[in-house]
Structure 1
């Protein structure tokens, strides 16, 4: 289990005790992204059982996790492993199962876990070898008991995509959150599992090269899960497991930097992963809808976020050669209708045009 940390000393002190108490003996690493708030000193003093990986620079979410799990891959849980277990693997041979862990958990520092939260997910992966990634139910963290019943923005009851690649969750359409009443206590395949709390098969992670490094943060887990499905794996949600997530601990949703990342990464996401027969129409429609959103922000006087969208488009086109290279390396083999966790309509039109505010209101025949 790896918790990526950047100046999250308070979160670590608050939530690490539950992680250590309820994670069935999992080995816990904290990968520190060059924090300046004495996080490492606090960990060494208050949580000596946690293994600390010190990253020299703030690599962001994507590169930070890639670097940390590359390090963990060769560390492993084995006490009799060689001190420098980095042998030259033969072609086609994967050394992960020899020296490392079978599964990784990517866990945000602002997540509170519950008793036995990890076991049902691990059992699901052990029962179904084709599953590469899984997430638990995500509720909103709060000290208010009523608010703790709300499903949380980042993952809720499992990730879906509409036909244009817009992400949403069961239990969360845009900013409308549902109260958890057990309606998502099932286990089922989904389009994506949240990066706030994701269990992933180690061999699949390394086969796909981890998270997209150019994304820095935001939508990186959706890209990974999309690539996993294109490679023949499945992504699941396990509603028997549950955690609580603070959310927005690094960038508030109205931060122009977050707007830039969401719009730039959203375009790159659909460009890299949409099947060739659907690519032109999907990207063109997304560009037009982005302009609608940008002009709406401008008319509201929100110039910083308007400029963030313009900059996102500029960066997308400027880096098009790179996105094309990544698309060729991980070719999108599955058409839209062949993926799990799909809404074959437009979520934007359903929510804003038809007033459908809850997942249960979406047309069942358009859901996979």
Structure 2
């Protein structure tokens, strides 16, 4: 295989969504990049996707027997992967046939690039942008904004550029960078783990890039559902966990002041006003998790 086409390992997680995963695999069958392997990690707890390995015999299929979360499932896929580049791709996506070539070319253009992401559009509204890069996360508030979010794609974000972090739905990194940084932190389980991972890549000296010549389409929130208590729990838990792991010095003091004087009361009051006790409980339980897991507990898994 020519050096211009290093092997790419595409890893996707199936979680009780075999039909959606099959649609992704059908999409991947049409790609033009000549050297890939596809690893399907099955975290299903209801109906495992055994049929996937029969319908798509060219995949590597790994059934975990439990829900290991986004980080845990991807880590198992990474350990099974053999590619020079590793691409974490949500199962609720579909890709353009030529989506890999621009990503590989961008990675090969500069050895300091550790992670690269495509332009992400909404599947149901394929001319609408979900992701065209991210603005930096504020280390005090933990907030960051997606560039181009919900804008119609008119080519306004067609220039490749560094971005503050990757989008977890579709992120590719080099094996060389991953071997320096390590695997994803599994204590997040769901949400914010890719943001934490990106901070570790940056601390290791790598940059993160947005490459708009590559496009995918995302079927948002199929796995957990919009507005689910599961999402509320992990967002509440992991936003603070992320800040605890990635905010330092005096900024950490300001972060705690902002979080407990403004952010937490605002969220609790919002749920109380709505009478939404289910989400109130989920948010509080996520917050309480951080009280019972000290600094040693949150830094033991990198």
Q: Partner of 1:270 in structure 2? A: 243
Q: Partner of 1:302 in structure 2? A: 276
**CA shift digits 1:26-83 (9 cap, x unpaired):** 111111114542512x2122111112122232211111111221122xxx2xxxxxxx
Mapped pair 1:170 → 2:144: no
Equivalent residue pairs, number:
289
Q: Distance in 1 between matches of 2:243 and 2:87?
A: 26
217, 242, 253: which is aligned to 1:244?
217
In the alignment, is the contact (CA less than 8 A) between 1:267 and 1:283 conserved in 2?
no
Query: Structure 1: which 5+ residue stretches go unaligned?
Result: 77-100, 331-368
Give the alignment's Cα RMSD to 1 decimal.
1.7
187, 192, 196: which is aligned to 1:223?
196
**Rg comparison, structure with higher value:** 1
Mapped pair 1:157 → 2:139: no
Task: Calculate the TM-score normalised by the size of structure 2.
Answer: 0.90
30, 36, 39: which is aligned to 2:40?
30
Mapped pair 1:211 → 2:184: yes
Q: Partner of 2:3 in structure 1? A: none
**CA shift digits 1:298-347 (9 cap, x unpaired):** 11111111122211111011112345535xx87xxxxxxxxxxxxxxxxx
Mapped pair 1:109 → 2:91: yes
Judged with a 3 Å threshold, the aligned counterparts in structure 2 of structure 1 residues 162 and 61 are, in CA distance, closer, same or farther, namely: closer
Judged with a 3 Å threshold, the aligned counterparts in structure 2 of structure 1 residues 258 and 6 are, in CA distance, closer, same or farther, namely: same
19, 24, 37: which is aligned to 1:15?
24
Q: How does 1:255-294 map to 2 (within 5 A)?
A: 255-287=228-260, 288-294=262-268
Q: Distance in 2 between matches of 1:131 and 1:169?
A: 20
31, 42, 45: which is aligned to 2:54?
45
Judged with a 3 Å threshold, the aligned counterparts in structure 2 of structure 1 residues 38 and 65 are, in CA distance, closer, same or farther, namely: closer
How much has 1:206 moved relative to structure 2? 3.2
**CA shift digits 1:165-194 (9 cap, x unpaired):** 21321022xxxx211111111111111111
Give secondary structure in 1 for the equivalent of 2:180. Answer: helix
Q: Partner of 2:80 in structure 1? A: 71
How much has 1:22 moved relative to structure 2? 1.0
97, 100, 118: which is aligned to 1:136?
118
Task: Calculate the TM-score normalised by the size of structure 1.
Answer: 0.75
Give secondary structure in 2 for the equivalent of 1:148. Answer: coil
Q: How does 1:351-366 map to 2 (within 5 A)?
A: none
Q: Distance in 2 between matches of 1:43 and 1:162?
A: 38
Query: Structure 2: which 5+ residue stretches go unaligned?
Result: 1-9
Q: Distance in 1 between matches of 2:226 and 2:179?
A: 31
**CA shift digits 1:228-277 (9 cap, x unpaired):** 11221111111111100001011123111101101111111111111323
Q: 114-123 vs 287-296, which deviates more?
A: 287-296
Q: Distance in 1 between matches of 2:52 and 2:192?
A: 29
